[in-house]
């Protein structure tokens, strides 16, 4: 919870803005890196979660690689100083110029999501006179037990190549001269809180890797994606996600021999260090008796509640009232779905109060838009207050 003193300092900035706790980011990275080292695991940070330059700079200090979802993300990572050899790039619809750029930059691996894409990568690599390292992103058909809007590894999903198709296309794949299949990749979804899901994932990966090796694929690494969830309900109880548990499960269940194991965490690294600070503009009551608090943020700064029905804990950081009321928190955008939360219990809330929308460091500012010609939200860092 933000102290009264910090809340007063925040009044010096025009709302809405993202506030990043750099100490918490460092603690999170330290925890992830120290446990990963124990097992010699490699972590790529999923840059789609947040590409704020200061955040990237801190992440770089801890030696993480980068996981990208577009050519511009690859460019952003390289411009931020990440070594191309630490970059992986997945994406179900890579455009031609993005594939050519990734080949040109010599990134660690392109995570390929269809056989047709593999053939295109092969053709572009041949034109460039290169042999490109590829991981096959396989759809393992696993239910990650999360919000269905953010699951990616069920059989009918657009992501990854079906395992059966890979088995049936082995010879066709192996005939390609300008791609080298060195890895197997999967990512089954995000905000995974039931950690036993990672156990199923390992059991599937063990079988897939064994069969791919039998078919003659020489795999040196297995990338099990990201997905580790965070505590949105009570962020103060769990500011740093439980990396030790997930790595321990993976270590006990994954049977991939000496192959290097890679992860692509986004949310778990940055979600808890960021919050969206917004000012209260107006109060009003609907004809049906709903008390609305209209804040100066909207879905243009943080779209997760409107896009996925995602929950963020909201607190009034300036009210000193002992009286509590039930409020619905709505934004400024010209959309009926522009609601952050409904019927929540807050101390009496008035024009000029500041609210914090917590756990917003991941998929917050990176999904911001300029709809209604709103300005993009600026960043304020805890160590600069
Ligand atoms: C391929 C891939 N890897 C990693 C991630 C990061 O997931 P998370 O933020 O849940 O760790 C995503 C998220 O969409 C993804 O699509």
Can you give the CATH number for the domain in which 162 is found?
A: 3.20.20.10
Instruction: Point out the ligand 1 atom lying closest to the alpha carbon of residue 190.
Output: 10
Calculate how far, in angstroms, residue 56's C-alpha sits from the geometric centre of ligand 1: 16
Say yes or no: CB of residue 246 within 6 Å of ligand 1: no
Say yes or no: CB of residue 159 within 6 Å of ligand 1: no
Q: Are 255 and 295 contained in the same domain? A: no
Mean pLDDT throughout 148-157?
83
Q: Are 101 and 75 in contact (CB under 8 A)?
A: yes
Q: Are 128 and 160 contained in the same domain? A: yes
Q: Are 56 and 105 contained in the same domain? A: yes
Count of structural domains within the chain: 2
Q: Are 175 and 52 contained in the same domain? A: yes
CB atoms closer than 10 angstroms to residue 64: 23
The residue among 271, 292, 317 that closes a domain is 271
Beta-bridged to residue 284, according to DSSP, are 292
Q: Are 79 and 97 contained in the same domain? A: yes
Calculate how far, in angstroms, residue 133's C-alpha sits from the geometric centre of ligand 1: 20
DSSP 213-243: HHTT----EEE----B---SS-GGG-SS--H
Identify the residue whose C-alpha is closest to ligand 1 atom 5: 226
Calculate how far, in angstroms, residue 65's C-alpha sits from the geometric centre of ligand 1: 14
Q: Are 299 and 196 contained in the same domain? A: no
Say yes or no: CB of residue 187 within 6 Å of ligand 1: yes
Identify the band that residue 2 occupies on the pLDDT scale cut at 50, 70 and 90.
confident
Q: Are 46 and 191 contained in the same domain? A: yes
Does the pTM exceed 0.85? yes
Q: Are 100 and 60 contained in the same domain? A: yes
Mean pLDDT throughout 276-289?
98
Instruction: Point out the ligand 1 atom lying closest to the alpha carbon of residue 271.
Output: 9
Say yes or no: CB of residue 266 within 6 Å of ligand 1: yes
Q: Are 267 and 314 contained in the same domain? A: no
Q: Are 277 and 265 contained in the same domain? A: no
Q: Are 208 and 320 contained in the same domain? A: no
pLDDT tens per residue, range 79-93: 999 999 999 999 999
Can you give the CATH number for the domain in which 311 is found?
A: 2.40.37.10
- The range of the structural domain enclosing residue 30 comes to 22-271
Q: Are 47 and 113 contained in the same domain? A: yes
Average pLDDT over the chain reads: 96
Say yes or no: CB of residue 305 within 6 Å of ligand 1: no
Distances (CA, A) of 357 to 86, 283, 316, 360: 33, 18, 9, 7
pLDDT tens per residue, range 11-22: 999 999 999 999
Calculate how far, in angstroms, residue 186's C-alpha sits from the geometric centre of ligand 1: 10
Say yes or no: CB of residue 160 within 6 Å of ligand 1: no
pLDDT tens per residue, range 202-212: 999 999 999 99
pLDDT tens per residue, range 328-369: 999 999 999 999 999 999 999 999 999 999 999 999 999 999
Say yes or no: CB of residue 262 within 6 Å of ligand 1: no
- pLDDT of res. 152: 80
Best mutation site among 29, 36, 46, 149 for ligand 1 pocket (most ligand atoms within 8 Å of CB): 46
Q: Is the pLDDT of residue 154 over 90?
A: no
Calculate how far, in angstroms, residue 229's C-alpha sits from the geometric centre of ligand 1: 11
CA angle 133, 366, 32 (to 5 degrees): 60
The residue among 271, 295, 314 that closes a domain is 271
Spatial distance between the Cα atoms of 235 and 45, rounded to a whole number of angstroms: 21
Find the DSSP H helices in the chain: 4-10, 22-39, 53-61, 71-79, 96-105, 115-127, 163-168, 170-174, 196-214, 243-253, 267-270, 304-308
* Whole-number percent of the chain with pLDDT over 90: 94
The residue among 225, 240, 271 that closes a domain is 271
pLDDT tens per residue, range 286-331: 999 999 999 999 999 999 999 999 999 999 999 999 999 999 999 9
Best mutation site among 185, 226, 366 for ligand 1 pocket (most ligand atoms within 8 Å of CB): 226
């Amino acid at each position: 919870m933000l102290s009264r003193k910090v809340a007063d300092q925040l009044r010096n900035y025009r709302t809405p803005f993202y506030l990043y706790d750099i100490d918490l980011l460092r603690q999170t990275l330290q925890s992830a890196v120290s446990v990963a080292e124990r097992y010699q695991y490699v972590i790529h940070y999923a840059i789609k979660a947040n590409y704020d330059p200061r955040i990237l700079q801190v992440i770089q200090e801890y030696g993480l690689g980068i996981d990208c979802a577009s050519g511009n993300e690859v460019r952003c990572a390289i411009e931020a100083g990440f070594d191309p050899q630490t970059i992986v790039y997945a994406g179900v619809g890579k455009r031609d110029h993005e594939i050519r750029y990734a080949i040109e930059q010599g990134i660690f691996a392109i995570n390929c999501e269809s056989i047709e894409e593999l053939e295109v990568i092969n053709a572009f690599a041949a034109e460039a006179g290169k042999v490109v390292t590829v991981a096959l992103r396989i759809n393992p058909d696993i239910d990650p037990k999360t919000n269905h809007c953010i699951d990616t590894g069920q059989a009918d999903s657009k992501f990854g190549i079906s395992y059966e198709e890979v088995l049936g296309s082995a010879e066709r794949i192996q005939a390609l001269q300008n791609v080298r299949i060195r890895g197997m990749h999967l990512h089954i979804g995000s905000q995974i809180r039931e950690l036993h899901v990672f156990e199923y994932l390992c059991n599937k990966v063990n079988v897939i890797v064994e069969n791919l090796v039998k078919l003659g694929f020489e795999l040196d690494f297995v990338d099990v994606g990201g997905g580790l969830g965070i505590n949105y309900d009570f962020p103060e109880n769990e500011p740093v996600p439980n990396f030790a548990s997930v790595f321990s499960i993976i270590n006990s269940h994954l049977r991939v021999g000496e192959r290097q194991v890679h992860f692509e965490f986004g949310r778990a690294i940055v979600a808890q260090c960021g919050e969206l600070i917004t000012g209260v503009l107006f109060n009003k009551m609907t004809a049906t008796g709903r008390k609305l608090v209209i804040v100066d943020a909207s879905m243009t700064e943080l779209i997760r509640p409107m896009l996925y029905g995602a929950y963020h804990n909201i607190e009034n950081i300036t009210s000193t009232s002992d009286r509590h009321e039930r409020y619905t928190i709505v934004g400024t955008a010209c959309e009926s779905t522009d609601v952050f939360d409904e019927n929540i219990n807050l101390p009496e809330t008035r024009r000029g109060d500041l609210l914090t929308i917590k756990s917003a460091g991941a998929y917050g500012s990176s999904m911001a838009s300029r709809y209604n010609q709103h300005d993009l939200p600026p960043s304020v860092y805890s160590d600069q207050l």
